[in-house]
Structures are given as C-alpha cells and as structure tokens.
Structure 1
Amino acid sequence: MSAEQVPETAPEDPFCQDPDPRTYPSGRLDAGRCSVQALLAGDSPVATAPPARRWLLVEQPGPWGRDALLQSRFDADVAPRLAQRAREAGLRIQMVRRPGERLADSGGRWAVADVLAPWVRWSTRATDAELLDVPLDGSVGVQSDGPTFLVCTHGGHDACCAVRGRPLARSLAGDVWETSHLGGDRFAANVLALPTGHLYGQVPEDGGGLVEAHGRGEVVLGMLRGRAGLTPVAQAAQQFARVELGLVGVADLPVTAVRSVPDAAEGTERWAVVLTGPDGDVPVLLESRLSAEPRRLTCSALRPGRFRTWHPLAVGSVPVGSV
C-alpha cells in the first residue's frame, strides 16, 4: 500500500449513540467494539503496559496504515532499515504527530526515551535517512523538562483508538502528541506518560486529571495499566501495593526482587515480589491465570482469545483486604 492510499481517518463504522453519555463520553460507540466490550465486562487493565524500556519517537504527520512506520509518508527506503536498527538497539518505535498537525507543519522531530532512567531527549532531522546514522543512546538532543503525553489515535490499527483517542488528544493540555499503536486496543483511549512510562487506559475525553497528576509527580491509579519497562509481574505487584498503601508518587515502590513461587494450583502462576517502600521492603504475593472466557481482544480479531488476569494475595505480608 502506498502512502497516498493510506486513509487519513479511520473507516466509517456504524457507531451508535450510547444511551448513557456518562458511560461513554465519546458518544459514538457500537456495542460490538472491543473497547465497549471491555468496559461492559469490567476487564482489568492491570499489568498490560509494554515491557519496552527504551523508545524511539519519530514525528510523521499525515496518515498511518496498520504498520505506521512502513505505511506512512516516511521514506519507504529508510523505514525497514530504521526498524532493523531500532530492534538491534532495543528500542520500540512510535510514530508521533501533533493533534491536527498538517504535513507541512512537521519539524522533523525525533526523540529517544528511557522510561526507567527516566528521560526524553529531542532532536530534529532534515531527512529521514539521518536516523540511520544518529546516536540512539540518548547522547544527543535536548531533554524535556516536564511530562509528555502520547495518545494512541492509530485508527489504521483499531477504530476504537481513533474514535476515543483523537478527541482526547485535542482536549489535553501540555506537551501532547498523537501516537501509533501502544497495545491494548480494548482499553482505548490509551495514553503513555513520558518520561516515566506510565501507561493509562480507558481515559475519558476530559483526561481524568491525568495531566494535573503528572504535573505533581503522581499517577492516577484508577486508569493505570502499568509502567513500561517492567515485566507484567512487577507491574501488577506495584499496582496492588500502590492501592493498598495509598502511594501515588511516580517513583514510589521500585522493584528489587521477583521470584516464582512453586505449588500454585493448576493453570495458575504464583509470584513473590519485593518492592522498596518509604519504610523498608514491601513484599507482595500475587497470582496470575488466564481469563475464564475468551473474547475478541481487538476489533479486527478473527477469533476470541483469552488474556492473563492478576490477583493480589498479600501486600506487606498481610492478606489483601486486611491492611
């Protein structure tokens, strides 16, 4: 598919008005959509952030196909070589654009982020080919002082991301970018907060206080999917400890140890995780198992699938519910 053939917007779909606008602020959502089904089923987004620690952000206005790097107006000869270079360097690529940005408005910006360090450093390019030679280790560029928000609006990947994400991207204040696929389409609208890598799902159109919270150096627990750069086990343990202990600082509860616990029930995995709290170690015991019922996990899924769920057993050596 050529760049000219990639649609600027998501295909038209028979979205219908939800009878309760408090439930779906975007208003136009068909009941069969993956994000609607996840909301109705009460799917937990816990521990669903990508494990990638280092990210490459590449500004590219205009339409994106399903593969945003290869199916966009980015140089078609450079794109596969950049993808290979990023894989070898351990970077995940995100295409980004300002909300409503036209092709002529592009500043050729690009950035490398390390979400556990954490930092984001921005540079500019005159040509796409420059990205094949520039350092990708964060040794160049200007470091961002405040939080940056990447809102998934990738309608070429899943319509839910466009329908929920684009109004959100337009409404958020601060350093906001639209971005390509972040994963977890059924949790749209999805937002990645940099430099810390906290990923949020089912974010309402008004942002749910996300920008204000990160301006204070805090997370928003009710929408938090997890922190990129950590394994799902570590993300889940951190989330459960935050809820039990009321700790919302972006740097709270770093992970110091993770080990598998034997003798879990069949089909269940049990883990022991140690976090560092303000008063010492915080042990967390948790279980993981596959969902009981399969379901379409994206709007384009050909068949239903099952997903992993996480369940806290004890936080700080105290059974959950007794703290």
Structure 2
Amino acid sequence: MTVEVERCAEGCLRRGDPLGASAPPVRHWVLIEQPGPWGPDPWRESSLPGEVVSSIAEQASAVHARVLLIRRPGRAQPGPRRWAFVDSAPGRERVWWHRFDDPSELVDLGLPEPRGIPSTDPVYLVCAHGRHDPCCAIRGRPLAAALAADRPQETWECTHVGGDRFAGNLLALPHGLYYGQVPPERGIEVAQRYESGLIDPAHFRGRSAFTAPVQAAQELARARSGEFGVDSFPPVRVQRSGHELWDVELDGAALAVRAVFARSDSPLTCSATVPAAVRRFELVRWLDDH
C-alpha cells in the first residue's frame, strides 16, 4: 500500500499558516541568467566556473546583496545572457540590466556604483527551484508560464527566494514585494496591481526592505484603513519593548505587535524531517487611539 506524503505547500494551506510578515529582509539583489539545470545548491552545481562563482559571491557580499539565478520559462534561447543589480531600498527602487557573452565578464560587476541606465520597469521572479523543494516546481512553473505568456520580457524563473511552503512564490522587483500561494490564474492580476502602485493583500507576504515587525504593522494598518498603496505606511520608528514585542510607528499609524510561535504538525519544507515553529504576529494595541 502506497502512503501519500503531504507536501509542504499542502500542509501550509491546510494549517492556514499566515502569509503576512514572511518576506526575508533583502534590499539589494544580483540576478544572473543561468538557464540551468539547477541542482539543490545551484551555485556549486551550475556550469558557472568556480572562480566566477566565488567572485560574484564576494562582490554581492560587499554590498549586502542576495544573489539569484534566473532563467526564462521554457527552453533557453541562444545569444547573450543577462544580469542585473537591483536596489529595493525605499525611494531608490531601480534595476540596472546588462548583457554578457562569457561568464568571465562577471568578475567585475561594479556593484558599489552601478553602471548603465537605471530602469524602474517591473521584473517578476517566480521561484521554480524544484531541486531545492518540489513545491517550487509543482506550483511555481505553471505560475511563471502563465505570467510569461502575458509579460514575456518581465518574467523569469528564479532560484530559492525563501518560504518554500508558500509556493507559488512571486517576487515583484524593484520594490522587493513578496507574494505567496499565487495560483497561475492570479499572477497577471497581481502584476497589474503592482504596476498600478497597489499590492494584492490576498497573497502579500511583505516588502523585503522592512523587518518582520514592520511588515506585520503595515499589514494591520492596511487592513484597518483599506489603503493598499505600495508605498503606504512607511516606517518612522521601531522599538523593541519586550520579549517578542515591538512598538511600530508608521507614517499614518502607530501600534504594538507581538510575535507568537506555534509548533506545526508537519515539516515546513519538503526536505525537512521534523516539524518546526510557525510564526505569526498579533495586534497588541493601537498606540494612536485616543
């Protein structure tokens, strides 16, 4: 008798794990086109030369950037490949695109002072790193294909972005907006809202430029006000006021939030062997109520 194993994305949906305040803290990105295949460790198991991989890692570390491999959905196309540096810091959201013919050209990316003309055009990355977690391929690739059919120039598959159980995971750059549990038929709507300056609250995980307490406070402020602008409720001040407790002052709201942890009843990734804690944030009180 075959016992069907519950995958991590299925367990996440069954438990109702909260999406909010789950975006990893990242402000800068380096995107390298590498058609694949991608192994569990995409850097060591890609066809990029070892000395190039080491150089890219050192350059990215120097500017505190996260490196992702990217590829077009479907078959790789011949010709030059692309790489980009992305700044997701609030007020500085930009993408600098470049082309390269030989990976050796990547040993000097010039990240401290990005070269070329910056762009504010959207870039959509869908995690499809199936060798890292099967859910990323099962749920990510159909999402990437659907989005690429409508926005072929803006859409890429990418390596692990964090939060496997939230697949399909969609990252909207340059703002660093994380979305999770996005089905293929909703990807275009999420993109349309982003291009209109709005987030899609149904699938929003948070903005990577901000810490988890700020992401949680913004989610609560948006839910109370109905204001879902990408740049609404920027943080003004954050102060830790106790154990897993923060006072967060936003432009337009002030509140105290608390992180609460509960042990899951199943592993949080398909590769994990034991359950782990699921974090959620709760409202303690509104500090701006009089």
TM-score (norm 1): 0.82
3-state secondary structure, aligned to 1:142: coil
Which segment drifts farther, 66-75 or 110-119?
66-75
Deviation at 1:318?
4.0
Q: 1:213 to 1:138 in 2, by over 3 A?
A: farther
Deviation at 1:304?
1.4
Aligned length: 282
Residue 201 of structure 2 corresponds to 221
Which of 180, 183, 194 is 2:173 aligned to? 194
Residue 131 of structure 2 corresponds to 156
1:122 pairs with 2:97: yes
Residue 249 of structure 2 corresponds to 274
Q: Report the AA paired with residue 162 of structure 1.
A: A
Equivalent runs, 1:123-138 vs 2, <5 Å: 123-137=98-112
Q: For CA contacts below 8 A with separation 6 or more, give which structure has more relative contact order.
A: 2
Contact kept? 2:85, 2:114, Cα under 8 Å: no
2: CA distance, partners of 1:154 / 1:118 = 26
Residue 86 of structure 2 corresponds to 113
Which segment drifts farther, 55-64 or 142-151?
142-151
Which segment drifts farther, 300-309 or 163-172?
300-309
Contact kept? 1:48, 1:232, Cα under 8 Å: yes
* Structure 2: runs of 5+ lacking an equivalent: none
Q: Identity percentage over the alignment?
A: 38
Contact kept? 1:153, 1:180, Cα under 8 Å: yes
* Structure 1: runs of 5+ lacking an equivalent: 1-13, 17-29, 263-267
Residue 247 of structure 1 corresponds to 227
Which segment drifts farther, 127-136 or 168-177?
127-136
Q: 1:36 to 1:250 in 2, by over 3 A?
A: same
Residue 52 of structure 1 corresponds to 26
Residue 77 of structure 1 corresponds to 51
Residue 90 of structure 1 corresponds to 64
Contact kept? 2:254, 2:288, Cα under 8 Å: yes
Deviation at 1:290?
1.4
2: CA distance, partners of 1:238 / 1:272 = 12
- Residue deviations 1:42-67 (CA, integer Å, cap 9, x gap): 00011111101100011111210112
2: CA distance, partners of 1:232 / 1:145 = 25
The runs of at least 4 aligned residues of structure 1 exceeding 6 Å deviation read none
- Residue deviations 1:111-138 (CA, integer Å, cap 9, x gap): 1111122111111122212222121135
Question: What root-mean-square deviation, in Å, do the aligned CA atoms of Structure 1 and Structure 2 show?
Answer: 2.0
2: CA distance, partners of 1:294 / 1:250 = 34
Q: Report the AA paired with residue 308 of structure 1.
A: R
Residue 215 of structure 2 corresponds to 235
3-state secondary structure, aligned to 2:254: strand
